[in-house]
Amino acid sequence: MPNIVSEAGLQTRAGQWWDSIPFLTSAVVIVCGVIYLICLLVGYDSFYEVCFLPEAIVSHFQDEACRSFTGIGDKIPPGKIYRIYTSIIFHGSLLHVLFNMLALVPLGSELERIMGSIRLLYTIILLATSNAIFHLIIALVVAHNPFHPFEHLMNECAIGFSGILFSMIVIETSLSGVQSRSVFGLFNVPAKWYAFILLVVFQLLMTNVSLLGHLCGILSGFAYTFGLFNFLIPGPSFYTAIESSSWLCTIFWKHLEKLVFVDAAEGDNSSGFDSIIFG
C-alpha cells in the first residue's frame, strides 16, 4: 500500500516551498515552464525564430536605415529586435529549463526580497538589454577583426535564461558582502571570481552552451554593481508609485498573499544558422 502519510508530507512541503517563492520569481518560473510545455505539445522547435541571433539584430538596424533613407519600407519584412527578450524565456530541452529554473528560485527569491518585485522586473529587463548589447558588440568585433575574423559568433543562435542568471549571481554576490563562495560544495573561491569559475566549469561539463551569452551576463552584472547603469535606474518613488497603484492591486489582489508580492518598502535596499546554443 502507498504510504499516505509520506505522500501528504511531500505534497505539504512542496506546497510550502512554492508558497515561499516571491511573486516575480514564481511568475518567471511559470512563464518559462509553460512556454516550454506548449512548445513540446505542439512540436515547436524553430528556435532560430526567437533566439538571440546577432546577424538578425544587425539586419534589423540595416532594414530600419533602409526604410529611413530609401523610402521602401513596405518591401522590407519586420525587424527582429524582439529576439532580445524572447530568447531568455525559451529553452531547448527539459533539462535546460529545469536547471535554469531551479537556479533561478534561490537567486531570484533573494534578490526580490532585497529589491522588491517591480524593481527586480525592471532590472531583469535592463540586464536582458545590456546582455544583448554586449553580446552584439563582442560578436561584431570578433567577426570583423582584421587579424583573424571569426564569423561563427554572428550566426550563433542563443536561447535560455542563464545569461540573466549569471548577471544575478554577480549582483547577489556583491550585495551579500561575502568574501568567498563554495563551488558545488567542493571548494571555495574568492567571491569576485565566483561567476567566472562557474563560467569555466559549465563550459567544461556541458556541451552546446553559450560561452559568450554567459560571459555577457557576467559583464552586465559587474556593470550593474559598479553603478554604470545608475543613470538608467529610476528612483525609489518610481517603484513605490507602481506598487501602490490601484490597477496593480486590482490585478493581483487575489494572489498577493499566496505569491508573496514584495514591494520596495519591504525589501532591504542595502538555419543559415551555425547552431542553437543553450544559455
Looking up residue 171, the CATH number of its domain turns out to be 1.20.1540.10
User: For residue 89, is it within any domain?
Assistant: yes
Q: 240: which 3 cell numbers?
A: 513605490
Active-site residue, from 26, 87, 162, 210: 162
User: For residue 212, is it within any domain?
Assistant: yes
Query: What's the pLDDT score for residue 142?
Result: 92
Q: Are 159 and 92 in contact (CB under 8 A)?
A: yes
User: For residue 3, is it within any domain?
Assistant: no
Q: Are 135 and 53 in contact (CB under 8 A)?
A: no
Q: For residues 204 and 271, give the distance between their C-alpha atoms in angstroms, rounded to a whole number.
A: 26
Q: Are 124 and 164 in contact (CB under 8 A)?
A: yes
User: For residue 11, is it within any domain?
Assistant: no
Q: pLDDT per position in the chain (279 positions), as tens?
A: 555 555 557 888 888 888 889 999 999 999 999 999 999 999 998 888 899 999 888 886 665 554 555 444 444 344 578 899 999 999 999 999 999 999 999 999 999 999 999 999 999 999 999 999 999 999 999 988 888 888 888 888 899 999 999 999 999 999 988 888 888 788 889 988 999 999 999 998 887 888 999 999 999 999 999 999 999 999 888 888 887 776 666 655 445 444 455 665 555 554 444 555 666
User: For residue 17, is it within any domain?
Assistant: no
Query: What's the pLDDT score for residue 205?
Result: 86
Query: What's the pLDDT score for residue 225?
Result: 95
Query: What's the pLDDT score for residue 129?
Result: 97
Query: What's the pLDDT score for residue 147?
Result: 85
| Residue 245 is a catalytic residue | no
User: For residue 21, is it within any domain?
Assistant: no
User: For residue 200, is it within any domain?
Assistant: yes
| Residue 271 is a catalytic residue | no
User: For residue 240, is it within any domain?
Assistant: yes
If one counts the domains in the chain, the total is 1
Global confidence as pTM = 0.84
Full residue range of the structural domain in which residue 239 is found? 29-278
Active-site residue, from 91, 96, 214, 220: 214
